Each structure stands twice: as structure tokens, then as C-alpha cells.
Amino acid sequence: MRVLVIGSGAREHALCVALQSDPAVTALACGPGNAGTAVIAQPFVLDVGDPVAVAALATEWLADLVVIGPEVPLVAGAADAVRDAGIACFGPSQQAAQLEGSKAFAKHVMTAAGVPTAGFWAVGGPAELETALDEAGAPYVVKDDGLAAGKGVLVTTDRAAALAHGRALLDAGHPVLIEEFLDGPEVSLFALSDGTTVVPLLPAQDHKRRDDGDEGPNTGGMGAYAPLPWAPEGLVEEVLATVLQPTVDEMARRGEPFSGLLYAGLALTSSGVRVVEFNARFGDPETEVVLPLLETPLAALLHAAATGTLAEQPPLRWRDGAAVTVVVAASGYPQRPRLGDPVTGADAEGVLHAGTVVGPDGLVHAAGGRVLAVTAVGADLADARQTAYERLAGIRLAGAHWRTDIALAAVEGRIILP
């Protein structure tokens, strides 16, 4: 099988690593990729936001399967363009990708499907914003309704700050969603879907805040771990029955079947499981810890999801142990990351490239806010965590920043369910 991966981050590097180890994959390409993917997959210059260009590359390269990593090409309709070219594509249609492209759309789907989620207020103007904040009460949750790369959310007890964030979004032409605050730890659960059948993967936990102790601004994710030793028994089965399958069924009822990766961001609240948000693709950095634990070859699974045959696949097999990934970010991330600095140690075991490029000098340079995802698999969470941080010691990037407490609360048994 000839597989083309679309995207340029650590998620795509993790996908390429998993696909490269699959004997069924006879050729692997990645566009545009990064300095890490270029070592294991044929690189192509590509504008991922151009569906026509994505489909043209897939056609010219004679791809048997296209795997779309980021949300931008999905929301732009790249999966539709690839399928229109007669090529199997792992990724939802433009219509189905609205589950991530519009939080208000996702809320309406959840309401229709009876999926438990936070109460919400869709806001289109300043007057509505003030009313919604008053009705929601503190802590205030203010979200950009569209794509914001994980950085469009403000959670605060300061009404003035919530109002300012909402007004800034509205002034930029972005609709706003105000949500009820959800207590309890958050969980990321991925599920493969072919539009009918839903197959959940391992739950993971992401660390969104930039700094230790969950302080600092929201980011695209500073690290993750899987599995979750503190998760209640039967969590995956419960989420499959109450969240994932009803959502896929509702999308099919609407004539917008969801085929690809449905990512449920969940809060385990005092009132039960609640959906925080949906994404329409593999999450980053959770992909970097879920895929290394998957023993089942990946290509056949993704192809089955793309071709409506997921129900024919055998049950998934998982490796024992745990995985931890720690993101190395450029100085200034997430506001104004400094780009161009050389990176050394990026070719070490377990290092996945996120924002990197090979410069004219032949060296790896930082080309994004999140530069690397340093990953390790261990016998348990403590072992994986120790190895990941040992590997970090070999990385050199001027002004680099990373959290020192990824998975620490789970290792120390400090995560309390409400």
C-alpha cells in the first residue's frame, strides 16, 4: 500500500513512524512534512490548505491511501477532493469536519444526539456576550467558535478578562461560544469511524497550559501520557455508548457521515462524563503516546475506516506499559515563538519532530512554536516518564521551554475524581 500523509507536525511524524513499521506499507510520503518525517518518508512541498493541490499530489504519486493529519485541510475540504479523485482518504468530509470547525455546530449535533456536554451560549455581538457571561457565571469559559489551534479558549474567574477576550474575538470577526464551566480532570479519547462503526483507542491526557502546575497561557499541548491509571473502570465503554456512537449516528442521520478520527475531549465531572469539545482528526500531542502503544498494524485500520469496512477488522491489540511525550517549545511560544535557531539532538531515539526544517547549512532548525515531542515507552508511567526526561537532556535549542511535570500528578496518584 502506498500511503501519503498530509501535515507537518509531530502528529504526522508519529503517524509516519507507525506506518513505516507496517509491512503492508510499500511506499510512504509526507507533504509538506518536516526534518524528521523526511528521514522516513518521501517529502513534498505542499500547501495543505489547498484541496486541489492535495488531491493532485495524491494522484501524481499514485497513492492508495491518503491520511490527513491537521484540521485546516479537513475543514477546507481536502478529503472530499481526494475521494473525488478516486483515492481512499482517512479524514472526514468538509461537512463532517464542522464538528471541529464550528463549536456551535458540534453543540447542536450533541444536543440532537443526546450527548452530555456543557451548557452553552452562542454569541454574535457585544450585547449578547455580556448577557451570556452573566447567565453562565464564574468561572467563565470563553471560546473562539472556529479553528484556533487549541489557543482560542480563556477560562477565568475575572469577568473583565472574559469580556475583553470575547470582545477581541468578536472584533476580529470570530463568533464566540460561552460555556458552562466543567469540573474534574480532562481525558482525550480517539475513535476510528467509517461512518457507521466506531472503534475507540486508548484514552490519554494532554497538558494544555504552557507552564508547570497548569499555569500560563493555553497552547496546542505541552505533553501527554497514556494510558490513564486513574480512569474509572468502564470509561471507554461508557463514552462509546453515550458520546461517540450517538454522534456518528446523528451525523449519518443528517446525511453527513463522519469517516475518520473522532476525538472527544472529555471532562470527568461530579455529574458524570461531559464532552468539552470534538476534534475531527488525531490530536497532538496525544497521538505521540497512543500510537506507540498500538500493536495492531495501522495502515489496514486507517484504510478500513476510509473504505467503510471497519467492522471487518479484528479487535485492536495493545502493548503493555505506558507512554509519555514532552513537548519542546521555542522561546516565546505560544505568543511569538522565535524561529530559525539550530536544534541538536533531534535525531535521538524517541524524538518526534514538530516544527523543524533542514536549513541550507544542513542542520535542523526550529520552524514552529512547538519544535519537538520527546517520547518514551516504559513498563509503567513512572518508567516512561523518567526515560522521556532523560532523553530531553540531549536536546539543545536556545531558549527552549518545556514542562517538567508531564504525567507527574498521575504517577504520584494526585488526580482525584470528583
Q: State pTM to two decimals.
A: 0.93
What's the DSSP call for residue 310?
G
Question: Pairing state of beta strands 65-68 and 2-7?
Answer: parallel
In tens, the pLDDT along 377-389 reads 999 999 999 999 9
**pLDDT, greater one: 175 or 50:** 50
Give the model's pLDDT for residue 172.
Answer: 86
Q: 479519547: which residue's cell?
A: 189
In tens, the pLDDT along 91-142 reads 999 999 999 988 889 989 999 999 999 888 888 788 789 888 988 889 999 9
Residues of the chain with CATH 3.30.470.20: 186-312
**pLDDT, greater one: 151 or 317:** 317
pLDDT score of 150 more than 70: no
Phi, psi of 286, rounded to the nearest 5 degrees: -65, -35
pLDDT score of 347 more than 80: yes
Say if residue 376 is exposed, middle or buried (CB neighbours under 10 Å; 0-12, 13-18, 19+). Answer: buried
Report the C-alpha gap between 302 and 284 in whole angstroms.
18
2-93 is classed CATH 3.40.50.20: yes
pLDDT score of 149 more than 60: no
Superfamily of domain 322-411: Phosphoribosylglycinamide synthetase, C-terminal domain (3.90.600.10)
In tens, the pLDDT along 195-235 reads 999 999 999 999 999 999 999 998 999 999 999 999 999 99
* CA-based max dimension of the chain: 58
Count of alpha carbons within 13 angstroms of residue 283, beta-carbon side? 34
**pLDDT, greater one: 259 or 170:** 259
pLDDT above 90 as % of the chain = 84
When pLDDT is averaged across residues 238-260 and rounded to a whole number, the result is: 98
Fold of 119-179: Dna Ligase; domain 1 (3.30.1490)
When pLDDT is averaged across residues 248-275 and rounded to a whole number, the result is: 96
Q: Measuring CA to CA, how many Å separate 9 from each of 32, 35, 54, 393?
A: 9, 10, 17, 22
pLDDT score of 148 more than 60: no
**Per-residue confidence at 374, pLDDT binned at 50, 70, 90?**
very high
In tens, the pLDDT along 31-80 reads 999 999 999 999 999 999 999 999 999 999 999 999 999 999 999 999 99
**Nine-digit cell at 102?**
464550528
Residues of the chain with CATH 3.40.50.20: 2-93
Residue 61 and residue 6 in contact, taking contact as beta carbons nearer than 8 Å: no
**Per-residue confidence at 281, pLDDT binned at 50, 70, 90?**
very high
Residues of the chain with CATH 3.90.600.10: 322-411
Q: Which of 3, 8, 2, 18 is nearest to 288 (CA)?
A: 18
Instruction: Give residue 117's identity as a one-letter amino acid code.
Output: T
Of the chain, the end-to-end C-alpha distance in Å amounts to 47
In tens, the pLDDT along 323-335 reads 999 999 999 999 9
Q: Give the angle 200-204-210 at the CA atoms, nearest 5°.
A: 140
What's the DSSP call for residue 316?
P
Q: What is the DSSP string of 6-44?
A: EE-SHHHHHHHHHHHT-TT--EEEEEE--TTHHHHSEE-
Question: Pairing state of beta strands 27-32 and 2-7?
Answer: parallel
Three-state DSSP at 277 gives strand
Q: What is the DSSP string of 209-241?
A: EEEGGGEEEE-S-SEEEES-TTSPTTHHHHHII
Report the C-alpha gap between 286 and 284 in whole angstroms.
5
**Nine-digit cell at 79?**
478529503
Residue 210 and residue 334 in contact, taking contact as beta carbons nearer than 8 Å: yes
Tell me which CATH code domain 186-312 carries.
3.30.470.20
Give the model's pLDDT for residue 388.
Answer: 98
Average pLDDT value for the chain: 95
Orientation angle between helical segments 159-171 and 126-136, nearest 10 degrees: 150
Give the model's pLDDT for residue 155.
Answer: 87
Residues of the chain with CATH 3.30.1490.20: 119-179
